[in-house]
Structure 1
Amino acid sequence: MEIKSTKLLYFSPTGTTKTVLSAIARGLNPDKTEQIDITTPKGREQSVETSEDELLIIGVPVYMGRIPALIVDWLNEIRAHQTPTVCVVVYGNRIYEDALLELKNIVKKCGGIPIAGGAYIGEHSFSKDDTPIAVGRPDTHDLHHAEEFGRKIKDKLQSLSSGSMISEIELPGEFPYRSDSKLWIVDFIAVNDDCTDCGHCVEICPSGAIDPQNSSKIDTEKCITCCACIKNCPVHARSMKPGLVQEASVRLFTLYSDPKMPENYL
């Protein structure tokens, strides 16, 4: 089966999902690659349409065992015309639950053909110096695993004469989905006097929750607790306040310290 180009489509507030998809692409070594970053509101202004001679690789982080609710409507508007598609989720060493199945179901609804699935580990959004959760993931082993996954995908595609030969991939998960994708509405970000209002956090916020005129003002109803603004502040002016999110960080550190390993489904 001839693939003329590969599209990498990702939502990646802290960069881990993008890193995994880039490693998969290295293993595939396609002639032509296009990256579609839907992390910010501006990135989601575009629509995506794909054809049967393209490969689509979609990567999303796992929130509460589900795909982030913020992007579900956008993903459902993808127009895939019998496009072979790889579904990838990245989770913070807890559990990915039904997210991979949810992504597969969205792909099928949009006209794509799910040919492979992968679950990888990324440093948890709530990870801090005193409660490290999957720090440094994806690590070298993870990325080698992702590259090998890319090579296996390429081998699978080359073994097929046409898209009609692709059989549906079975992925883990339950439907109806077990958890609610709705996130907490919580005031958890502290901003100290080191803040220069440089605007970097405003630019990278996936939900447009930070006031462009005053970056210490955060719309808690829009915030998806991704912690991208905390992890990427150039002067380290942002941190977690005591409360729900910090308590969750302690629980995750205590209960999920044993490292999970990547999983592939072909």
Structure 2
Amino acid sequence: MSDYKAFRVELKDKIAHVAINRPDKFNAMNADFWTEIVDIFRWVDETDEVRVVVLSGVGKHFSAGIDLGMLAAGTHKYGKDVGRNAELQRRVILKLQGSINAVDNCRKPVLAAIQGYCLGGGIDLITACDMRYATVDAQLSIREVDMGLAADIGTLQRLPRIIGDGLARELAYTARTINGEEARSIGLVNRTYADHDALQAGVLEIAQEIAGKSPIAVRGTKRMLDYMRDHSIDDGLEYIATWNAAMLQSEDLRIAMTAFMNKQKPEFAD
């Protein structure tokens, strides 16, 4: 693994720990963040030993969102032509979207562990994860309307599929802050924990459980769930039939069945 400026990355027991590492800046997403996250999740996808990802933030906060200094620096590139400015801005937005898409498109499950602030771009990031977990006092907010713009990096596209249209609209229109317990009650996070230590231990336990499963089965399950976001039930049934026509021939199936019948813990190859 390479050294990163905006992240700390570790691999242990089949679990990749990916932590935003700018605690003195509330883990705000600077230019390094947006380029490095693509490289990190490419490494995750290409490394067979990695079976699960835990995504977190170093220090008191998960992330305060996009670094405002980075946004301000981008305005200096504008000229006098509105059309050319728009084309430039569109490319920037698509590049940022691509960084968040790298998380969403990861073939392995990604679990977000959220403490402290999770604001603006932080919501974009966690909605691209498979599951989300938070401390009870975490503070989550879609802040973009208070900055005079519409969120454009994924929140408005993904959040309604997680918590429903009405609640997503309320949070996006008002920019109000919710705590971890309310986030759990509306389905934005799966579970809450009393403090940061309990959060890290709890999410790690879930990650370890997933890492012990057949990687073939887990990736197939994730692929099917992702596919169903944009397809009908009939499409999904057809796809899983074709997928499992190959995957049911995996050695993992025999190992799992044998372990189950013998009441043993199965061991699967990467």
Question: What TM-score comes out, normalization by structure 1 length?
Answer: 0.32
Identify the structure with bigger relative contact order (alpha carbons < 8 Å, sequence gap 6+): 1
Larger helix proportion of the pair: 2
Question: What TM-score comes out, normalization by structure 2 length?
Answer: 0.32
